[in-house]
Structure 1
Amino acid sequence: MKKLETTLKKIKKINTEKMAEAENRLDQLTKPKGSLGKLEKMAIKLAGISSELYPSFEKKTHLVMAGDHGVVAEGVSAFPQEVTTQMVHNFLNNGAAINVLAAEIGTEIQIIDMGMVDDLEQEDLIIKKVKNGTDNMVKGRAMSQKEAIQSLEAGIEIAEEYINSGSKVIGIGEMGIGNTTASSAIIAVITQANLKDIVGFGTGLDQAGVEHKIEIIKTALEKNNPNPENAVDILSAVGGLEIAGMAGVIIGAAANNIPVVMDGLISGAAALIAQKLNPEVVNYLIPSHSSVEPGHKKVYEQLELNPFLDLDMRLGEGTGAVLAMPFLDTSISLMKKMATFAEAAVENSQA
């Protein structure tokens, strides 16, 4: 708990003076004011996060956190639990979508076992396992509060490790059969939205499967009665080990003035947990895409963030996060390399 508390206290407000400098620079460039839309907003935010007008994001790191969920026993997924392990093997063999995208964009990728049922020993797999999967949240709490804190702190440690090795931006993604159920439960608790407006088809459910999933989440929420004002209690009641790990990464990165690129529904649930622990973390979050999962919209409304991409995706793994990473470089390059009206001798009285 000490690690978590210490790191949360390190998170500061972003540099508003540097943001004003960036906005002023953008307003002088040879374009109508605000015409580059979200790219301008991103450049301003990145200047505030880094306290630099032209930050560099040469070293990018993407973290995929894996964990299993006891609630899978209730038939909430079209896939069996062993698919988590099979997909982790696929990641390690560079065979998944996230591997292709990370290689294409030039992003370092790391797979972390936060709580898989199986124990794998492979050189490229980081083991931060707190337990072998969560417990079935229909029958009791998903994990103890101690385990929730341990998972948060493991995420903080991973973020610090990569930041210390030079990472300037971190993407977060996940793998865990059943994790849309845990994420939907977290989102429901924090946003107080109706489950019918949150729960989607996940990995291959039909309409009957969605309705069953809603009933399972209702049962788990009634059974465990999480405190909506206590992030650790929410994680303990209905969370996931990989969700806690991603929340820890967000906290650790924010404490070190490093932006985190979010992915879809599950990383969104992690962001809500991190926001509950320290609201300032939102200023360090870069939204990537709009997931097909309906609950993702509720996440963005709660965080007051707007995604950059809408590709009808719902794969997970952090695919959206990696796809959005080049936008960081692009936004800064535009601000740095475009000519001002004065430099280009362009009349700007009507701009």
Structure 2
Amino acid sequence: MSLPRIAIDAMGGDEGVRVMVEGVSLAHGCNPSLRFLLVGDEAKVAERLALYPGLAEAVEIRHAPEVISGDERPTQALRRARTTSMGMAVDAVKRGDAGAAVSAGNTGALMAISKLALRTISGIDRPALAALMPTLGNHDLVMLDLGANTNCDSRNLVQFAIMGAAYARIVNGLASPRVRLLNIGSEETKGTEDLRDAAALLKQVNGSLALSFEGFIEADKLSRGDVDVAVTDGFSGNIALKAMEGAARFVADLLRRSFASSLRSKLGFLISRPATDLLRHHLDPNQHNGAIFLGLNGVVVKSHGGASAVGVAHAIKITARLLEENLTERIAADLANVGAEMIQNPARAGQRGQVEASPQSDLASEQGA
């Protein structure tokens, strides 16, 4: 099957053209049917592309005179979108010149540009940033939102759950992903009113969707493999993500320091090296690179700014999979099955108050539970 080509912001990320073009080459080597639109400084892109002659027939270059910096504000980026590599890559999706866009650039700018250019799917209020997290289970964990929306109500959380489940069915091949809401406890009475309302609504629509809602989950259980989709607001999600990444680096650094502490430890490292290599591979963020803005009328994938060429290739592979499996259409179909009235107006659907709200003091007293 011939897929639409993928627009690549060739200038984004910490190393820009070098890593992005090498990542394109690696992805193309794994799937020679892929076609690309590389957007950026034409001279720099062509110079780097010359190192990979096998890509010549698979790539078109589109010149972009400007680049959005990593510290540029989204409002500034929006004003310059038409002349930047990021803005032109997203615009290619809007115009139908590409089926998806991949960028390793400024996350806030990419979200703002993508939302303005592509708009959200009917029935979705806000797009959410979703990514894959390593677990002890058989599949990676889909987690969202990871920072696109700091404040979310019950309606947003339910929409995130529907989108996350559709994503998990594609990337992990699951027929009915297990979905949970991130909370300070697993009991039904814990958490904010919006969390409890979202849980009540998800219980009601459980049978209408290809997902299994299993209530709340605490942050320390996310990596156990007992959940396929973890749903939260962008503020909590971003904190949880950074904490998990920090814990992974802590373990890696602690092992490195321990193995270097003595001659006996160094000998132990040589014996255990196959196991430590497996651990390093499992925790390597490049093996999980590629976060997607779910809920847009088009596929936009965010590669980590510091990703290696392997990480960029992984993000491109995910992008191709989402195009092949028609992610946007699947989300729209799931929303239609549930009904826009229920998702967009949970209070009028009879949800508010179905779960007894705990007193305001309960939340404060349970923060450390």
Shorter-chain TM-score above 0.5: no
Larger Rg computed on CA atoms:
2
Tell me the TM-score range normalised by the shorter chain. 0.3 to 0.5
More strand by share: 2
